[in-house]
Chains A and B, each alone.
Chain A
Amino acid sequence: GENVEQHPSTLSVQEGDSAVIKCTYSDSASNYFPWYKQELGKGPQLIIDIRSNVGEKKDQRIAVTLNKTAKHFSLHITETQPEDSAVYFCAADSGGYQKVTFGTGTKLQVIP
């Protein structure tokens, strides 16, 4: 089955700096890669996603890049703010609920 590895598990950055979270996947059939943000006491919320026919996608301060050959994708947050502090999850989806695999999460702390 699919295996998704996510690094780092924790990340501390100064406010205004950039943060990068990386994920690798194993199943070449995966074609959809969402990123979720989970704030304390809440459920995960989709913040950005990318499909396998696209190499990069950007939405204001967040961007995601995908390298299909190397089977890895990354989340980039620029100009970080304290409200970016949360746990971030990546996932790889090859179609259908039973084929969505989540990473283990990255706890991001933005220090004011």
Chain B
Amino acid sequence: GQNIDQPTEMTATEGAIVQINCTYQTSGFNGLFWYQQHAGEAPTFLSYNVLDGLEEKGRFSSFLSRSKGYSYLLLKELQMKDSASYLCAVRDWGNTPLVFGKGTRLSVIA
């Protein structure tokens, strides 16, 4: 079976750094994706990891450890507009559709 876990909610302060964790158990592995979704809007692609290590993209970084079935999304210099849900998704093998976690709702407060 497939299982993707991430915290339901997090709160962080404007200007701070926040780390959103994701753990997964899948039959195989062919990529992990992070998406941002503002309320009522479409998910938008943030990052992709297929090899172990850190991928950095501006204020956003994503880390993957395949042996631990673990990823995190790191958001730096938080802004109010970063208040959104963050979805972790895994492709378990080949070119199968992504399987999504339930998302982490991040609230950025002043």
On whether the two chains bind one another, the answer is: no
A interface residues, Cβ below 8 angstroms from B: none
